[in-house]
Structures are given as structure tokens and as C-alpha cells.
Amino acid sequence: MTNKHSRLSYRAALLPLLFCSATVLAGDGGIDAPYGQLPPPSQNELTLETEQAADVSCDSGDPSRGECANVESAAAAAPDSMQQAKQLSNESDGFIEDATETGAPSLNTGYVGGKTRIGIGIDSEFKGKADLSHVFTETEDTAVIGQGYIGVNPKKDDAKGHITGAGAKLNYHWVSKDEAGQASHVNKVFGAYDQNGSSDKDGKQAKKVTVGYGQERENMFWSGSVMKGLGDKFDTGQKDKNGNTIYEKGYDWGVGGRVGTFISEQQMRVQGGLDYEWGTEQAATESKAKQVTLTGGVEKFFPDSPHSVNANIDVYKKSGGYVEGEQKAEVRGGVGYRYDLASESGIWQADKMYRRVRTEIPGEEIKKPAKVERKLVKHTMELEADSFFKVDSAKLTPEALERMNSVAAKMRECGSEGNIRISGNTCDIGSTAHNQKLSERRANSVREFLIKNGFPAETLLAQGLGESSPKYPNTESERHKNRRVDVEYVCYQNEYKDQTVQEGGVTRTDPKVVWKQELIPTPPLWVRQGLHNVADHKQRVDTYKTTAGGENKPEVCEGLEAKDDGETVITKGNTKIIDLLKNDDFCPDSNTKITKVMCDGKDVSEFITSGGKDFTITTDDTTPESTKQCTYTIEDKNGDTDSADFSVTVKKADGGAKPTVKDDTYDYKGTSALGNVLTNDADDITGYTVVDRSVLSVPTGATGYTYTISDAGELTFNPNGVAGTYKFQYYTEKDGVKSATPATITIVVPESSCPANESKTGSLTYQYSSSNPVDQPIDVTSFLPTGKGLTDIESITFAPSTENPKIPGQVYAKGTNGNPVLAGLLSVSSDNNVKFTPATNGYCTDIKKTFYIKLKNCPTTITVDYTFNAT
């Protein structure tokens, strides 16, 4: 025999190989950055969004009217909004102060997951699995997630055997916060239902429910669960050496725990776990069934993609219950792939979320000498802080009215061009909403004033800014200055003269328009991850074996019941033996007898015959014609008694011919039912009854034979292995008239019906499989005498092995190291079919096993020395 690999080493070698192949793909796609980071933006020079005149150099002309010599260069300076947005997203303060190149770092991102995940996998037994997870509802602090899976075995031939398991799970997650309002951990509760595929011929399954609670924190997560088995045990179709039925059942209770962490640098989720399960049923000779399972798992997420790969491994050890050989630790596991369907917020999210706000930055102050030249001059006038209000008032103060009259006069003097912009402002006294409305009323008050002073209403644009744009500090001494309305207008003054175009001293450049990056208040990245990641539990429903409730208890015969026998008719001049016990219920070894018979109040117990087994009625021609009501009493060896009724009718012979009988001869061929002895007595046997049976002769040593002839003539016979000629006798009766002579039954039992004690040999060659062994049938009929079949077999037993004599059907061979190795199991079905189930932990050849065949009614035994060879 050659022992290739044990189950533990085979599976342990398979799992790392598959996982290493998958993790080779877990690179960053050529990006020179740590895992979990997006690539940096391209380093292009930015052009700010601002008025073209600020960035275009004009030697002459008015740029605002297109009077610029280098208009083409001005068009070329148009801003690239996308590039500007990318660079602004990387600025720490949210502003760009000039148009120079920046070198911002990449955004840190992490895996959060989508609303739906689908996955496929394969385990170490090459069985497949598909799973689905979906987020039903989700808020910033809660999530409800549903899960489901189904396992398949494509190698199975029968349709119901393809499903290896299925389950569903519901999870609810919520965030707990500390006193400062910051997230401290994510709570997780769940309930799950799991079941195996069909476990027996009737389609029964092992099932369980699991409930659990867990937490996920920034640097680790944990969970605990409690399991309860469902369903009853089911018959495996096997028996132990004592004939006890072997049952299989899912573990009745279990507890488990998981602990792990998310390694953000590698975007990997790793965890380990421990489960302890136990059964509640055990036979008197068994210890408590239990199983301990150590679990390890890892899932790798590919940066900025919906793909992930995972691997898991279980090392488990069973103990207790019905033990088949040595119970060693075993290993199983698998690898899988999952795909996330994108959600609105994305599968991968940044650790901080920002929004971009368009903001105007005032121009810079620049010191320049005064410049005087003769040219057509454009004047732009801006009036600020010229209007004042009282607290919580939109009514112009007298000072404000005086200033507005001056502003209106100046606007008329130069002639305003285009729209006039009116902006209302407040100080910080009062609520924000109230101040917003107050600023709008103030702006409208100024607008109404200008309309009344002759300005077109369609050119007056009023807006309220509330307290959001204070021009002065909101202090006691300065606050009143923020209660104002700013009026902006443009006018032109055209004349040729020596004009100061640009004042000397300090001037201000035109304002710049930029995008401000504001931090959006969002939960930390680990919280978003925790809301989407469920707490794991042990899905597989493991089982244990037990003979509890399957003990081969001897049949207990209880009770004694006499049953009425109805009417017996006899004609004058005849004798009839009545078997009163034939329809009564009593134990075969109870020595039950008829102890008393009363007919019409008269004790007739003297006619009890056959040692208390029969009641005999004898009549002659003087016996009066009548019907007598009788009661008989039976009693067993324990002294228990019971009574029943019957009646006897004596009638006059009708003078008809007596029924005829003919002898019968049978050749016994191993079948106990030989036929009807009346069929050759008359053409029409209607009304014929067999009476007065007796034994004429049997072979020497025939002590265990049995024979019966029913009233209707059916003959059954069993020689119990003793050959020879058996002779019996019977009379017939019809209409109360008994046959004049008896008929003789001759049964010949040939010597060849029972084999001599002999030894035979056989062999079987089968295909070895380490994962899916196929049962091998053994044709036992090839060892039987001619004419014998499976129904003639009384029992098939196996010679016990020295390695485990408690299970005779186990077949052992010696390994290369000289130690015994389990090669398989022989079993016998109820219809005497024998099969060999190869083991998966050893490749064996030239295995020897002896079994014995005992035929019914034969004292001899057929010994078979059988050889098994694997290929």
C-alpha cells in the first residue's frame, strides 16, 4: 500500500497556493503611491477665473470695449476650469493666491463598499459558493444589510445532491458617540439562518439559527454569537457492530467569536475566530459530542476598483458521539472573489470630504507713482458704507437720507451705465435668519429711495447679505458701521484734458475670483467602513453521529388477549379439532394454554387436547342437532388469563358424497411458501377446509423445522437446513362432511440446498478519489449456491479488525511507515446488498478483508476472503 497524502496536508497545501496566486494581482496598477491613494493631478499652470483686463497687457485702447492690440493673447488666457478645480482641491486652505504651479499631495482614500456586493468562491473540496449582500437602508449613523448564499457541488449525479448549503442573514448597524459627539464605535447585531443540503434519502437537512453582537472601532473589530441547532436527527442507513442504528444530527448548541483589523496601508481585512459546538444526544456508551473550530480569513481590496479577493481556512476537531476510528484535527477552506456595485457616494471614498465654493478675493494694494496723460478716460466709481441704519431697522436714518441724496446727485452728474447693484448688510446682533431678512429689507429701502428719485426700477438690483459680509469688526465701537447698504455703479466721463489716470501712492488691483475648498462634516472613514462591513459567523452546519435512540432493543412481548373464534359446524358422526389459539395474541415463549371451556354453562374442559392447544369435538348419530354458545379461557406462564367466545353447531349429515383428497409432493428449493394442497383435490375447491393435520415422518435430526397448513390449504415449510424427506397428513371437510381418507404431503429437501462450510475469494478494483469517493457494490450472489439469491441470505457479517474491533466493517491496510491506515468501510443494506465506501485519506492496494454469509435454514457458513485494489 502507498499512502500518498493525509487529508490535512493536502488541503493545507492547496489553500496557500490558490491565495498566493490571487494576491499577485493585488498591485497598485503602476501608480507610484501607497495603497489607498489616488494618483496626483497633472502639474499644469493654472489661469485664474477673473476679468480679462487684469491679465492682458494693453498699450492703448480700452480692454473692456475690445480696444486692445493683443486680443488673441487675451483669448488664449482663458481659464482651464477643470485644472483649477483639481489644484484647488489639494490646497490646504482652499485658496490660490496667484497663478503659479503647485505640487499638492494625493488624496488619501479607503475602501467603503457599495450598496450591493456579489461573490463567488470555491472550497478545498472543489465545491462552489455564490453570495449576495445588499444595503437596504442607510443613514450617516445606521445601516440595514441583508445577505444570502448558496453552495453547490457540480460533481453530484443526483439532482437534490447538487445543493450543499444555503443561508440568509439580516444585520443592523449603528454608531455610538462619546461625550464630545465624536464616533467611538459601530455596533453590529445580526440574526442568521443556515442549512446543509439534503443529508439523507428523504431530503432532511441539518439546520441552525445564529444571533450575535459585535463592535468595530478605528483599529479593530470583534463579534460574538450563539447558535441553536434545528431539526431532528436522521438515519444514516448504517448500524454499529451491535446492530444499533447510527444517526447523524447537526450540533445542538454553539458559541463563537471573531476578532480582526483592517490594514489600511495594504487595504486588507484580516480576522481570526474560534467556535465551540456541542450535541445534547448521546448513547450510554458515548461521550458528549463536541467540535472546536479555529478560523482565519483575509480579504484584499484593489485600490480604486470594485474587485476584491479573499481566502479562509478552518482547522477543526471533533470528539465524542459515535466514533468511527481515530478523530484527528482536519482542515478545510477556500478562496473567493467579490465585486461591488457602485453606490452614489462611491466604493472608495476620501478620508475627508470637501465642497468647492466660488469666492471673490479683494485686489492687492500696489504703490505706483502718479501718471498723467491726455486721453479719453473711463471713470469707475464705487460707493461703500455710505448708508446707515439703527439696530433691527430697515428705515434709512436722516444721515443715510442725506448721503443718498448726495450719491443720487453724483450718479446723475456722471450718468450711470448698466445696472446698479445694491447690497444690504447687518451687524451680528440677532439670529442669522432674522439678519438675512433684515438685510434684504434694507437693500429694498435703498432701491425704493432711488426709484422715487427717478432711477429706472429695472436697472436697480437689490440683494441681502445678512451678517455674512461684515466690513468692520463687530465691536461696540465699530458694529454700527456694518448696518449699511453698499451701492455700486459705473459711469463714464469723456473729454480731452490733462487727466490723472492713476493716482500716485497706493492703489488696488482688480479682485480675483477663486474656488474655496470647504471641509464637509462627514463621519470618519473607519466609521463608513464599519457601517458596511458585517460581523461574520460560522455558516457551515457541522454534524455529529450518535446511536442514541437507535439501540437494537430486543423485542418485548407484552400482553395476553383471547379473541372470539366464531361458529364451528360439525355433522353428526364426525370429529373436529378446533385450534382456538390461532387468532389469539400472546408471546411465543409464554407457554399459553387453554385451561377451561364452558358450553351453555357446562364445563367441557375435559375435551381440551394437544396439551392445551386445541379443543376436540366428537359426535355420533345420537348427538342432538343444536348450537351451543361456548367460552374458553387461556392462561400464560405468568398466570395472566383472558377469555373469548365461540359457538359449535351440530347438524344432520345431508347424505351427500364425502369430499375427496389427493396426495401432494413438493421439491423444496429454498422458498418456504410451497403452494395450496387443495388445488388437486377437486376441480372446485369452494367450501373445502383443511382439518386434522398431523406429522407422519421427518428426517433424523430435523428438530428445528416448521410447517403450517392453513384452513384454506396454503402450505409453508422450512427445513432449517436439514435435508431429507418430510411427510405430513391432513383431512378435508365440506359442508360439515369430512373426507373418508387423509391426504399425504411429501416434501423432498435436497442435500444441495445448503452449502458446506467453505471458503471463497473475490476482488474489487476501484478508482481512488481524495475528495469525492464513489461507493463500490459487491456482488455477493456470486458466492451463493445455484438457485440462491439475496432473499435467501439470513445475515452477512464482517470479521472485526484488530485496529478497531468495535466497527467490524472498517477496512484497514498498513502504510509505508508500518502504521495502520483506514482504507474504507463495508456496509450491508436491509436487502443484503453489500457496498464498499473508499476512504479519502489514503491510496491503498492489496487490502484484505473477510466476511461471512449465512443462508436461511442452513447451519453452514460461506467464508469470503476479499481483496481491494485502488487505481
N-terminal to C-terminal alpha carbon distance within the chain: 11
Q: Cell for 485? A: 447698504
Superfamily of domain 115-352+524-546: Inverse autotransporter, beta-domain (2.40.160.160)
The CATH architecture assigned to 566-651 reads Sandwich (2.60)
Q: What is the C-alpha separation between 700 and 716, in angstroms, rounded?
A: 20
| Chain segment 778-795, per-residue pLDDT in tens | 988 888 877 788 888 888
| CATH code that applies to domain 758-870 | 2.60.40
Fold held by 378-493: 60s Ribosomal Protein L30; Chain: A; (3.30.1330)
Query: What is each CA distance from 620 to 572, 603, 648, in whole angstroms?
Result: 5, 20, 15
Q: Which residue has the cell 387436547?
A: 609
Judged by average pLDDT, the poorest of 106-115, 265-274, 512-521 is 512-521
Which pLDDT belongs to residue 397?
79
Please enumerate in sequence order all residues whose Cβ is within 8 A of that of 354, keeping only pairs 6 or more positions apart, or say none.
89, 94, 517, 518, 519, 520
Alpha carbon distance 747, 667 (integer Å): 6
Q: Is the pLDDT of residue 131 over 90?
A: yes
Residue 506: which pLDDT band, with cuts at 50, 70 and 90?
Answer: low
pLDDT tier at 384, thresholds 50, 70, 90: very low
Mean predicted confidence (pLDDT) in 704-726: 87
Secondary element (H or E) of residue 403: helix 398-414
Per-residue model confidence as pLDDT tens digits over 545-588:
998 887 666 556 677 899 999 888 888 878 888 889 988 988 87
Of the given ranges (381-395, 540-554, 774-788), which has the lowest mean pLDDT?
Answer: 381-395
**Cα four-point dihedral sign 229, 234, 236, 241:** positive
Class of the domain covering 664-753: mainly beta
Contact 514, 125 (CB under 8 A): no
Instruction: Tell me the per-residue pLDDT of 717-743, one tens digit each, with 9 for 90 and over.
Output: 988 778 889 999 998 888 777 888 899
Provide the pLDDT for residue 21: 46
What is the dihedral sign for C-alpha 199, 203, 209, 214?
positive
Question: Which pLDDT score is estimated for 81?
Answer: 38
Strands 416-424 and 460-464: parallel
Q: How far is C-alpha 710 from the chain's CA centre?
A: 60
Q: Are 385 and 142 in contact (CB under 8 A)?
A: no
Identify the band that residue 811 occupies on the pLDDT scale cut at 50, 70 and 90: confident
Which amino acid appears at position 271 of this protein?
Answer: Q
- Between CA 260 and CA 30 the distance in angstroms is 29
Per residue in 155-177, pLDDT tens?
764 545 678 889 999 999 999 99
How would residue 608 be classed by pLDDT, with cut points 50, 70 and 90?
very high
Cβ atoms of 795 and 856 within 8 Å: the answer is: no
How does residue 495 score in pLDDT terms, banded at 50, 70 and 90? Answer: very low
CA of 227: how far to CAs of 183, 231, 260, 332, in Å?
30, 13, 21, 21
Helix, strand, coil % (nearest 5) of the chain?
10, 45, 45
The domain segmentation of the chain, as residue ranges, is 115-352+524-546, 378-493, 566-651, 664-753, 758-870
Q: Look at residues 642, 570, 579 and name the one whose alpha carbon lies nearest to residue 614.
A: 579
Q: Which segment of 163-167, 308-312, 854-858 scores lowest on mean pLDDT?
A: 854-858
Q: Return the C-alpha cell found at 763.
A: 476482488
Dist. CA 379–CA 360, nearest whole Å: 22
Say whether 664-753 and 566-651 share the same fold. yes
The Cα 681–Cα 671 span in angstroms is 23
Q: What is the mean pLDDT of residues 381-398?
A: 64
Percent of the chain at pLDDT exceeding 90: 26
Q: Is the pLDDT higher at 104 or at 334?
A: 334
C-alpha distance from residue 361 to each of 98, 224, 364, 510, 830 (Å): 11, 56, 9, 9, 95
Q: Does pTM surpass 0.85?
A: no
- What's the confidence (pLDDT) of residue 503? 58
User: pLDDT of 632-676, one tens digit each?
Assistant: 999 998 889 999 999 998 887 665 567 778 899 998 877 788 888
- The pLDDT, as a whole number, for residue 270 is 95
Residues 394/442, Cβ–Cβ less than 8 Å: yes
Is residue 610 scored above 80 in pLDDT? yes
Under the phi-then-psi rule, with left for phi > 0, alpha for psi from -120 to 50, and beta for the rest, what region is 774?
Answer: beta
Q: Say how far apart CA 658 and CA 571 lie, in whole Å.
A: 12
Q: How does residue 502 score in pLDDT terms, banded at 50, 70 and 90?
A: low
Count of residues making up the chain:
871
CB atoms within 10 A of CB 19: 20
Helix 398-414 / helix 432-452 crossing angle, nearest 10 deg: 50
pLDDT one-digit tens code per residue, 245-255: 888 899 999 99
Comparing 97-111, 327-341, 797-811, the range with the smallest average pLDDT is 97-111
Question: How is residue 738 written as a grid cell?
Answer: 369430512
